[in-house]
A and B are shown apart, each in its own frame.
Chain A
Amino acid sequence: MLRYIANRVFWFIPTTIVLVALTFVILKFTPGTGVVSEGTQTITRDQIERLEENYGLNDPLYRQFTTYLGKVVTGDFGESFQFRPQTVNSIIGRTFPVSLRLGAYATLFAVALGMTLGTIAAVNQNRWPDYLSTTFSILFYSLPNFVMGFLLILLLAVFLPRRGVDLGFNVGGIERWQDWVLPTIALGAAPMATIARYTRSSVIEAIRSDYVRTARAKGVRERGVVIRHVLRNALIPVVTLVGPIFAAIGTGSFFVEEVFNIPGMGPYFVESIVAKDQPMVLAVVLIYGLFLALMNLVVDIVYGFIDPRIRY
């Protein structure tokens, strides 16, 4: 087990370096250095060159890369080209927590509601609660999150208020607590459907098992059977889904953040791509990549503890 963890952690390093190198090279091949945003007329050719010199953009590529890598290791991502004089660290420090908060809400929503719906569907197999929950699962599963987001906005923040039903939802922003509700649903709906599907089939399997029949036979009441015997066993495999889901949506989403005007990392990243703001793009790619790799690592290790059948 320890050896496995060490091995996985070790693999983490080359993956990260390759990730950064790839982004770095691709960005360097992009025409234009992005030091000055296009359309800025007030700056002379001479000044641009001096700026580029300052940022080390005239050094050979390998030198630029090693310099950058050296800085990154000490946690310094440099200054943003686009939002100068703000540093990348300060922008990320401000926006990352917002994205993470949205991601955490969405994950909680997906897990709580998904398990509940899946269990209700399984216990009432082939009756209307089952069909209802199945229909919603398919709907939520197939709609992209930004489509979901706009449908929610149109329904709850535009059309219903026009009919006089104002539930207090806004078109965007994060000023009030209600503002978090719709983005959370939009981001969490698809993973919620996934969890509901898994929970349903897992619970159905457990219901038909021998130990449940035994429990019923010895006179345990239905509620007790479901909670103590069925769910306890059925939810273990479902729990393992939480990790990958958090890895996927834990950092929010460009699109949901864009849809709801949430000042997370997403909108900044899109803007940096358009403006060729290399320090920003590299930092965001690195953070997303590291987050994903780290979560996968944690998931793999946790599996080993939850399910004793897995041994490395």
Chain B
Amino acid sequence: MAQTQPQTHGGGLARDRELSRDSAEGRRLATAGEAGLAGLAEAVPLPGVGSAALMGERRQRSLWGDAWRRLIRNKLAVLGLLVVTTFVLMAALAPWIAPYKQSEVVDVRLARYGPSWQFPLGLDQNGRDIFSRLVYGARVSLVVGVLAQALVFLIGIPLGAAAGYFGGKIDNSLMRLVDIVYAVPQLLLVMIFLNLFGPGLRNIFLAIGIVGWVNEARLIRGQFLSLREAEYVNAARVAGAGNTKIMFKHLLPNSLTPLIVSMTFGIPTAIFTEAALSFVGVGIQPPQASWGQMVGQGSQSGYVQSDPHMLLFPVLAIGLTMLGFTFLGDGLRDALDVKGNEA
């Protein structure tokens, strides 16, 4: 995320409640709960992760089945899943859901018309339907979120993997680079890159991806550092597997769960970054609809007091999406038994 703040293991709180409710049932939950209570203590080993490869195909399926059941039991996570699903559907089916096109002027004379039966969320300063623009804005958000995260993986995973697996000089030099990128506030860098490439959808996710890979690199490096000593790695090497095969066939699949969790936090971070950039005017340019840009327009002086609906609905859209992803991410972290998201 942009404004760098120390990331906490949000799981702790949810787990405690879980623990008190059905402590009789889940022994795994109990251990997870205690780990949550230990709170500030050192990282607990990841039971599900380390042993997954040793399990047979049948057991492995039940690992995901277990995780799914645990996720479904968590009410907040289900709520998050619902919000995120709605958001994705809205983005995918935008042309069929939105009654108007994103930059279609419904009626200039009705500019800034408040919510009504005909226009449930009202019209904006140019007489465009706010609901339609929000639906199309979801598209921009989703595309930026997913593509930026893909780029983060594409850069961060190989670099982190190389650093963690080979160690030594490669690790040292890569981590120095990470330190330097880390020293600069990420938003600042994103803005400088946008300044270089110019605004627009493609450059935004490029910038977020190019800047954001450091967290993923650290995460993967840490995973590989601890996993590379595992016995199955030795076994694979004895069986004649090369470095590439060990890294991508053995180590990477075993780092899958933290990656999934980190993805559910990375995507909303990218979405938020895009919204924030578009809000201050260096992101998505009009007439393309974007939530952040709609916030920017609705917050222009004068409109806030007289026509708050122009500001309220885009703000709610961003807020709800963020909440949805956080609930889902927290739930996934508990369900997959991943400790912390500290990169």
Is chain B found bound to chain A in the same assembly? Answer: yes
Please determine whether A26 and B192 come into contact, CB atoms closer than 8 angstroms. yes
- Taking residues whose C-beta sits less than 8 angstroms from the other chain, chain B's interface range is 35 or more
Please, which residues of chain B bring their CB within 8 A of the CB of A285?
A: 184, 188, 192
Q: How far apart are the CA atoms of A248 and B185 in the complex, in Å?
A: 8
- Please judge, given known A-B contacts A143-B319, A201-B36, A288-B188, whether A244 and B6 are in contact too, CB under 8 Å: yes
B305 sits at the interface (CB 8 A): yes
A147 sits at the interface (CB 8 A): yes
Q: How far apart are the CA atoms of A134 and B17 in the complex, in Å?
A: 10
Please, which residues of chain B bring their CB within 8 A of the CB of A269?
A: 191
Q: Which residue of B lies closest to A289 (CB)?
A: B184
Please, which residues of chain A bring their CB within 8 A of the CB of B204?
A: none
In-complex Cβ contact of B187 among A18, A150, A237, A254 (8 A)? A254
- Please judge, given known A-B contacts A154-B312, A201-B40, whether A146 and B183 are in contact too, CB under 8 Å: no
Q: Which residue of B lies closest to A187 (CB)?
A: B3
Please determine whether B195 and A27 come into contact, CB atoms closer than 8 angstroms. yes
Interface string of B27-68 (1 = CB under 8 A from A): 000000000111110000000000000000000000000000
- Please judge, given known A-B contacts A26-B196, A237-B40, A292-B183, whether A270 and B282 are in contact too, CB under 8 Å: yes
Residues from 234 to 286 in A contacting B, C-beta threshold 8 Å: 237, 241, 244-245, 248-249, 253-255, 258-259, 261, 269-270, 273-274, 276, 281, 284-285
Q: Number of A residues contacting the other chain (C-beta, 8 Å)? A: 66
B20 sits at the interface (CB 8 A): yes
Residues from 86 to 103 in B contacting A, C-beta threshold 8 Å: none
Interface string of B161-184 (1 = CB under 8 A from A): 000000000000000000110011
B131 sits at the interface (CB 8 A): no
Residues from 130 to 157 in A contacting B, C-beta threshold 8 Å: 134, 137-139, 141-147, 150-151, 153-154, 157
Please, which residues of chain B bring their CB within 8 A of the CB of A270?
A: 191, 280-282
In-complex Cβ contact of B280 among A26, A137, A254 (8 A)? A254
Q: Which residue of A lies closest to B275 (CB)?
A: A144
A204 sits at the interface (CB 8 A): yes
Please determine whether B319 and A259 come into contact, CB atoms closer than 8 angstroms. no
In-complex Cβ contact of A141 among B3, B179, B326 (8 A)? B326
Please, which residues of chain B bring their CB within 8 A of the CB of A158?
A: 304-305, 308
B266 sits at the interface (CB 8 A): no
- Please judge, given known A-B contacts A30-B196, A150-B315, A202-B39, whether A143 and B322 are in contact too, CB under 8 Å: yes
Please determine whether B279 and A258 come into contact, CB atoms closer than 8 angstroms. yes
Q: How far apart are the CA atoms of A228 and B89 in the complex, in Å?
A: 54
Please determine whether A146 and B40 come into contact, CB atoms closer than 8 angstroms. no
A4 sits at the interface (CB 8 A): no
Of A57-65, A174-182, A192-200, A219-227, the one contacting chain B is A192-200
Q: How far apart are the CA atoms of A284 and B191 in the complex, in Å?
A: 12
Please determine whether B5 and A244 come into contact, CB atoms closer than 8 angstroms. yes
Please determine whether A293 and B40 come into contact, CB atoms closer than 8 angstroms. no
Q: How far apart are the CA atoms of A279 and B154 in the complex, in Å?
A: 34
Q: How far apart are the CA atoms of A84 and B53 in the complex, in Å?
A: 64
B142 sits at the interface (CB 8 A): no
Binding site for B on A (CB under 8 A): 15, 18-19, 22-23, 26-27, 29-30, 125-126, 134, 137-139, 141-147, 150-151, 153-154, 157-159, 171-172, 190-191, 194, 197-198, 200-202, 204-205, 237, 241, 244-245, 248-249, 253-255, 258-259, 261, 269-270, 273-274, 276, 281, 284-285, 288-289, 292-293, 296
User: Can you list the 5 inter-chain pairs with the closest CB atoms, starting with the nearest?
Assistant: A201-B39, A142-B326, A150-B315, A147-B319, A237-B40
Binding site for A on B (CB under 8 A): 3-6, 8, 10, 12-13, 16-17, 20, 36-40, 76, 179-180, 183-185, 187-188, 191-196, 272, 275-276, 279-282, 295, 299, 301, 304-305, 308, 311-312, 315, 318-319, 322-323, 325-327, 330
Additional A-B contacts beyond A205-B38, A292-B183 (6; CB < 8 A): A15-B183, A138-B327, A171-B305, A200-B13, A270-B191, A288-B188
